[in-house]
């Protein structure tokens, strides 16, 4: 039960953060991705502050014996740079550049009621569900 | 307030959310992975993921209610572009095991080489896509 409540709380903080940061504004995101146009550096502040805060927080948290509501910290174990990682990152960047939505802002965009996120999110979920099969080819 | 300040406050909240997930549930707050698991997992493993996802949507609805500064314009993309973009983002983040939060924030904060390589790759691909769209074919 507590695990569900904490997940909801973390999601809420993330949603508020995405909205305040400007990440849900596709025009601003595309402005950041447009290096050769009227470059908008806003997103660098989002990623920079996010990484610094998480870096400092993880340093402290990972020194503790374990999480409050689970037995262990579930950290990714893979370390190799494989084909699915690289090909996946390329496809993701391509899709991100087309519309200006990455997964979080697309979900957050559902709260705006605009048509684009309502279409984007189901397509993204289909892509996610297909991805294991596509990865298996490589 | 200047949008760089909002960006820094918002970005810090993304970091805080990542710390909360790690400290409380021992998990990486990667949106693509959690969204995917909210469909494929079963039982309580599914429900925390569903609630995390719901939290993002509800949380994002709040700031625009408080200030017009957070009301965003409608995305300027045609329906086919939106569908192809969504499919590619889902496929790519699924194959690459992460997106801007999982790799870009949590992974880099953990100094993971895989995440650093993934982040540089998807950023480069996105820069190139926007360059091609805005300065070659679309121009």
Q: Could you give the ipTM of this predicted complex?
A: 0.96
Can you give the residue range of the structural domain that contains B91?
Answer: 3-137
Residues 76 to 135 of A: which have CB under 8 A from any B CB? 76, 78-81, 84-104, 106-112, 114-117, 119-132, 134-135
- Describe the crossing of helices B3-20 and A2-21 by its angle, rounded to 10 degrees: 160
φ/ψ bin of B98: left (φ > 0), alpha (ψ from -120 to 50), beta (otherwise): left
For A12-33, what is the mean pLDDT? 97
Give pLDDT tens digits for B65-123: 999 999 999 999 999 999 999 999 999 999 999 999 999 999 999 999 999 999 999 99
Would you list the domain boundaries of chain A? 2-137
Q: Cβ–Cβ of A94/B105 closer than 8 Å?
A: no
Which among B26, B58, B131 has CB closest to A36? Answer: B131
Give pLDDT tens digits for A46-102: 999 999 999 999 999 999 999 999 999 999 988 899 999 999 999 999 999 999 999
- Joined together, the tokens standing for residue B122 give 């998807």
For B22-26, what is the mean pLDDT? 97
Q: Which of A121, A33, A20, A5 is nearest to B14 (CA)?
A: A20
- Min Cα–Cα distance to chain A from B33, Å: 9
Give pLDDT tens digits for A118-136: 999 999 999 999 998 998 8
Instruction: Note whether A8 and A14 are within 8 A (CB).
Output: no
Instruction: Give the count of domains, chain B.
Output: 1
- Give percent of chain B with pLDDT exceeding 90: 94
Which among A14, A121, A135 has CB closest to B59? Answer: A14
Instruction: Note whether A119 and B86 are within 8 A (CB).
Output: yes
């Amino acid at each position: 039960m507590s695990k569900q409540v904490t997940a909801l709380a973390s999601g809420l903080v993330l949603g508020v953060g995405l909205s305040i940061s400007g990440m849900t504004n596709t025009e601003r995101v595309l402005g950041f991705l447009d290096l050769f146009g009227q470059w908008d550096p806003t997103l660098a502040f989002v990623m920079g502050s996010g990484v610094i805060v998480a870096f400092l927080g993880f340093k402290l948290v990972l020194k503790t014996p374990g999480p409050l509501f689970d037995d262990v910290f579930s950290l990714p174990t893979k370390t190799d740079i494989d084909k699915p990682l690289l090909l996946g990152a390329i496809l993701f960047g391509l899709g991100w550049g087309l519309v200006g939505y990455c997964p979080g802002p697309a979900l957050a965009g559902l709260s705006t009621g605009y048509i684009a996120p309502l279409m984007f999110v189901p397509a993204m979920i289909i892509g996610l569900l297909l991805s294991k099969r596509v990865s298996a080819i490589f | 307030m200047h949008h760089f300040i909002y960006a820094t406050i918002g970005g810090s909240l993304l970091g805080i959310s990542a710390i909360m997930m790690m400290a409380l549930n021992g998990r990486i707050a990667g949106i693509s992975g959690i969204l995917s698991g909210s469909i494929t997992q079963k039982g309580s493993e599914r429900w925390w993921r569903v609630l995390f996802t719901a939290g993002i949507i509800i949380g994002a609805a709040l700031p625009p209610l408080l200030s017009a500064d957070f009301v965003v314009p409608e995305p300027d993309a045609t329906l086919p572009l939106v569908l192809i973009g969504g499919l590619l983002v889902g496929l790519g983040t699924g194959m690459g095991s992460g997106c801007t939060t999982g790799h870009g924030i949590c992974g880099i904060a953990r100094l993971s080489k895989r995440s650093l390589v993934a982040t540089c790759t998807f950023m480069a691909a996105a820069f190139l896509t926007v360059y091609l769209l805005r300065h070659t074919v679309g121009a």
